[in-house]
Structure 1
Amino acid sequence: MKAHETVMGWVTAELQSGRLSIGDHLPGERALAETLHVSRGSLREALRVLEALGTIRTSTGSGPRSGTIITAAPEQALALALDMQLATRHVEHAHIVEVRLLLETWAAEHAHEGGSDRAAAAQLLERMDEPDLPVEEFLQLDAAFHVELSRAAGNPLISTLMDALRTSIADHTLARARSLPDWPTTAARLRSEHHGILERVRAGDREGAAGLLRNHIEGYYRETADVDTGEPRP
Structure 2
Amino acid sequence: MRTHQLVQSWLEEQLAAGRLAVGDRLPGERMVAEQLGISRASAREGIRVLEAMGIVRAGVGSGPGAGTVITANPGAALGAALRLHMATSHLPIEDIVQTRLLLETWAAAHARPAAPAMENAAALLEAMESSAPDEKEFLRLDALFHVALADAAGNVLIGAMMSSLRESIEGYTLRLTRTLPDWAATSARLRAEHRDIHNAIRNDDGALAAEMVANHIEGFYKEAGFSGS
Q: TM-score, normalised by structure 2?
A: 0.88
For 1:18, what is the secondary structure of its paired residue? coil
Residue of structure 1 in register with 2:21 after alignment: 21
Question: Residues 2 and 110 from structure 1, CA distance in 2 versus in 1: closer, same or farther, beyond 3 angstroms?
Answer: same
- Percent identity reads 49
Contact 2:112 2:201 in 1 (8 A): no
When structure 1 is superposed on structure 2, of 114-123 and 7-16 the one drifting more is: 114-123
Question: Residues 113 and 196 from structure 1, CA distance in 2 versus in 1: closer, same or farther, beyond 3 angstroms?
Answer: closer
Q: Aligned AA for 1:26?
A: L
Residue 193 of structure 1 pairs with residue 197 of structure 2: no
For 1:167, what is the secondary structure of its paired residue? helix
Contact 1:86 1:93 in 2 (8 A): no
Residue of structure 2 in register with 1:2 after alignment: 2
Residue of structure 1 in register with 2:156 after alignment: 156
* CA distance in 1: counterparts of 2:153 and 2:11, whole angstroms: 30
Residue of structure 2 in register with 1:229 after alignment: none
Residue of structure 1 in register with 2:36 after alignment: 36
Question: Residues 225 and 74 from structure 1, CA distance in 2 versus in 1: closer, same or farther, beyond 3 angstroms?
Answer: farther
Q: Aligned AA for 2:202?
A: R
For 1:129, what is the secondary structure of its paired residue? helix
* CA distance in 2: counterparts of 1:69 and 1:171, whole angstroms: 32
When structure 1 is superposed on structure 2, of 141-150 and 166-175 the one drifting more is: 166-175
Residue 11 of structure 1 pairs with residue 11 of structure 2: yes
When structure 1 is superposed on structure 2, of 79-88 and 101-110 the one drifting more is: 79-88
When structure 1 is superposed on structure 2, of 46-55 and 165-174 the one drifting more is: 165-174
Runs of 5+ unmatched residues, structure 2: none
- Count of residues in Structure 1 that have an aligned counterpart in Structure 2: 229
Runs of 5+ unmatched residues, structure 1: 227-231
Contact 1:80 1:168 in 2 (8 A): no
* CA distance in 2: counterparts of 1:124 and 1:17, whole angstroms: 41
Residue of structure 1 in register with 2:122 after alignment: 122
* CA distance in 2: counterparts of 1:28 and 1:108, whole angstroms: 43
Residue of structure 1 in register with 2:84 after alignment: 84
Give CA deviations for 1:120-163 in whole Å, capped at 9, x if unaligned: 21122112222232433322221121111113332211111111
When structure 1 is superposed on structure 2, of 190-199 and 52-61 the one drifting more is: 52-61
- C-alpha deviation, 1:115, in angstroms: 2.2
Question: Residues 63 and 185 from structure 1, CA distance in 2 versus in 1: closer, same or farther, beyond 3 angstroms?
Answer: farther
Residue of structure 1 in register with 2:59 after alignment: 59
Residue of structure 2 in register with 1:94 after alignment: 94
Question: Residues 208 and 169 from structure 1, CA distance in 2 versus in 1: closer, same or farther, beyond 3 angstroms?
Answer: closer
